[in-house]
Amino acid sequence: MFKTMPSFVQRKLGNTHSFNTMSFNTQWQYNIPFESYIYDHIWTQIIQILCTLVPLLLAVAFLTYAERKIMASMQRRIGPSVWGLFGVLQAFIDGLKLFVKEPSVPSTADQPLYIWAPMLTFIVSQIAWAAIPFGETNVISDLTYGAFYLLAVSSVGVYGILLAGWASNSKYAFLGCCRSVAQMISYELPMGMIILTVSICAGSLNIAHIVSSQYGVWFALALWPQLFIWFICTLAETNRSPFDLPEAEAELVAGYNVEYGAMGFALFFIAEYANMIFMSTQSALFFFGGDSSPITLLPNGCFWLWFKTFIFLFLFVWVRATLPRYRFDMLMRLGWKVFLPYTIAGFLTCAACLYAIY
């Protein structure tokens, strides 16, 4: 159909990192049809997406099992032990139970929003992985402003929780969603300042560039106060203990998802644990060099990224099994009066030092 490269394709190739311009021009030089190249490119992207999302969903299943086992060992219990070897199939049995359970919609609920809310939360938790580099070249979309993309996508997840609480038409669900919105907005601001601090240290907002700039020295050594604040903010951002106030069972029964069952509840559940993995991966990328090896003699690789991510996930579980729940006023005070001023001061100090040096 096309005898010459269309002008819109030329503009696209000149303004984005999604296409490999040199590869495309080479393909065009050897008279490979434009439709064939686009078809192959689409299939390559689909395979990349599946190779990212399928292991992620399996990791969510095994994370729930690992969390129950780790907490059981900390509390001198057995944990899952019936289904499969050492209870390893328990997560899949729980998922099957929710899948075959009959869904129910409250008669007073706003049904379109009620149905859409868990789907939105689940979708947002998956699309955030598009800009995560698992290696020097293993990334679905190498975005120039990838750090801002991660922050923006993680912020959109609050809309699913807000819709769930509003559409359920229940006072407990509505109070839970109001708490969650206030909490997530309050702790996104310090996280944004920390990401800016890391970005000016790396000289780029591209995540792959941020990772490669840490191959010599990790940012965790110089920015350890930001790392400490960042980890606490990730606990609040994912509504995990001790900041699980949107789901406080003693006050709100189950919070924003109290009216959900079957697959609606399952989607919220998967999104929560996927966000835990996502935040842990961000911590490894921004502060511990991503796939860089901690030992000079060993090569870099994706294994190191997952190893660092697992350490942060273990800290998530450890905190849940150890610390009591905060009061809501203490949570808000910590975010607005402590973390936000400190992160702004840290950003300005880091910027001033870099300006003085360079």
Q: For the ranges 14-28, 80-94, 229-243, which has the lowest average pLDDT? A: 14-28
Q: Is the model's pLDDT at 112 over the cut of 70?
A: yes
Give me the domain span that covers residue 219: 106-357
Residue 192 resides in a domain = yes
Tokens matching residue 14 = 């000149």
- Does residue 273 lie within any of the structural domains? yes
Q: Which residues contact 70 (CB under 8 A, 6 or more apart)?
A: 314, 317, 318, 321
pLDDT of res. 97: 87
Q: Is residue 159 part of a domain?
A: yes
Instruction: Examine residue 242 and state whether it is found in any structural domain, yes or no.
Output: yes
Does the residue 225 lie in any domain? yes
Higher pLDDT, 43 or 4: 43
Q: Is the pLDDT of residue 237 over 80?
A: yes
- Is 235 inside any structural domain? yes
Q: How confident is the model at residue 19 (pLDDT cuts 50, 70, 90)?
A: very low
Is the pLDDT confidence value at 24 over 50?
no
Side-chain half-sphere of 282: how many Cα atoms within 13 Å?
30
Please report the pLDDT score of residue 279 as a whole number: 92
pLDDT confidence band for 2 (50 / 70 / 90): very low
Least confident of 35-44, 142-151, 322-331: 35-44
The model's pTM:
0.84
Distance (Å) of CA 226 to CA 94, 183, 186, 304, 346: 38, 19, 16, 22, 8
Over pLDDT 70: what percentage of the chain? 86
CA angle centred on 196, ends 149 and 289, rounded to 5°: 80
Q: How many domains does the chain have?
A: 1
More confidently predicted of 14 and 284: 284
Tell me the two tokens of residue 72. 């059981």
- Look at residue 14 in the predicted model and tell me its pLDDT: 46
The answer to the question of residue 188 being in a domain is yes
> Residue 107 in contact with residue 259, Cβ under 8 Å?
no
- Tell me what percent of the residues of the chain surpass a pLDDT of 90: 20
Cβ distance 301 to 293 under 8 Å? Answer: yes
Q: What is the DSSP letter of 84?
A: S
Q: Is residue 244 part of a domain?
A: yes
Closest CA to 161 of 107, 122, 189: 122
The pLDDT mean for the chain works out to 82
